[in-house]
Structure 1
Amino acid sequence: MIARAILCALALLVASPVVAQKSKSKTRSTASKADVLRAKGYRLAARHRYKKALPILEEALQLTLFPDSTLLYDLGAISEALGDCSKALLYYTGFLSSMPDENQQIEVTQKIKRCKKATELGTLDISSKPEGQEVRINGVPLGRAPIRGLQLPTGTYIVTSKKEDFYPYKSTIGVEYNLRTRHELRMQKMIFYGTLEVKVTPNEGAIVFLNHVSKGPAPFTSKKLETRRYLVHIEKKGWDRWVRYVTVEKDSVFTVNVNLEKTNTNVAIPPIPR
């Protein structure tokens, strides 16, 4: 049964195009390496050399950017064949999180029940900030937080997560027998910078304010402002106050060209953006 599933996976791997060809160079390189490892691991597994195939396929999984249900199932089946129910349980749980069809769910659920009977278990709850983060445990994708009531063999695990514009998350947690462990995955947002230029006509005597703070006479340039929304206003005696919200973006220059007017209009200063 295992050998047949492995052979099918190997055939699909050889016949499939490399999707990552349309991605960036680094992503393409990672995907290519994962494909090479997968092919090597499946060739070994097809010859029943499971002990040698397992670490190679596990390395391929670490390089897989998206959940790979076939690989997760095969890792579970190989681990189970080697008598390692702890690993098999984690891989099968990851497989179920990829939402397989009903027949596959029934089959793998039975395998999980069998493994649970042979293993000491603890329970893990995972939440995240921001909400909905993809969660990987020991490199196995298990869906998005919050994850409740995840039963795992006792031991130490590495929880990881990635999100664009956030630093990669990595934490070590312990699962203890018959106890419930709660873990909050807190992502730290990266700080990016851009440049703001403010040019005023006429500029003599014009004062630039940024979020209600005086930045001195025009023209004004700040080359390292955090990327977000700001309030810019200009004060010049005898001229109308000028007010605008501006957005500074990553690695870009936002230039504000201000033409002051004399209309005797009292322009209110709005609140600082949040």
Structure 2
Amino acid sequence: MALVTTKELLLDAQKNGYAVGAFNVENMEMVQAVVSAAEKTHSPVILQTTPSTVKYADCNYFYANVRTAAERAHVPVVMHLDHGNSFELAMQAMRAGYTSIMIDGSHYTFDENVELTKRVVSACHPNLIPVEAELGKVGGKEDDLDGGEGDPYTNPQEAARFVELTQVDSLAVAIGTAHGVYKGIPKLDFERLSEISKVVEIPLVLHGTSGVPDDAVKECIRRGMCKVNYATDLRIAFTNGVNRVLNAAPGTIDPKKYNSEGRIEVEKYVLQKIEILGCIGKG
């Protein structure tokens, strides 16, 4: 199946009360693992790369991997730019073939965020590419992305105004999650999420979900989250698989032997999260 966009997938998730999993991938084996899990569960899936990932190997390398996996799959697969940090990178990803773009202007003022987001929307929408934006600051640190200081939470009224001004297709909101590894159990502001859902009509996105208890994720979906992002835990899963081989046989020199174990661990993790998101059989 050819790559698809997030537009119809997230609208269906919003209508039917489930969420689509969005998984950050770093190499071919992680791409294979995520798509394999989606195939086994007949689930739609979103594969993502961050700015630091495409700095390591540019958008074309990762797009080629995901496109190949998607063409062999029988479920909808999306290639998404996660936390795009500039107009230029958003355009680079779109030209490479990405089928969904996030522009993250959350570190700017409200007005600056609006202007940057509008600029990306004006370029992507004529090409039928949906745009995700962020309002509020998801805490922690992911790659080179720092949650920053100040009040991080998304204001519901500002969110409604932001969507009206920018015409984005989905919105990442800050309700207490953070990127990276949590030091304790995160406390999410479910009531704030409900208030945002009441005034924002487009699908909402949960970032920083690695380490969030599954019950909390389910509650977020019940209150309006339609796309749920996982990144850190996939890296941990892949590394655990690699380390298992190297610890058992330190002399192993064939990357296929340890990378394949990393692939197995990522697939197991994605299978479990797909079940939590309620999207089994939706592909």
With the shorter chain as reference, the TM-score category is under 0.3
Please give the TM-score of this superposition, normalised by the length of structure 1: 0.28
Please give the TM-score of this superposition, normalised by the length of structure 2: 0.27
Highest relative contact order (Cα 8 Å, sep 6+), 1 or 2?
2
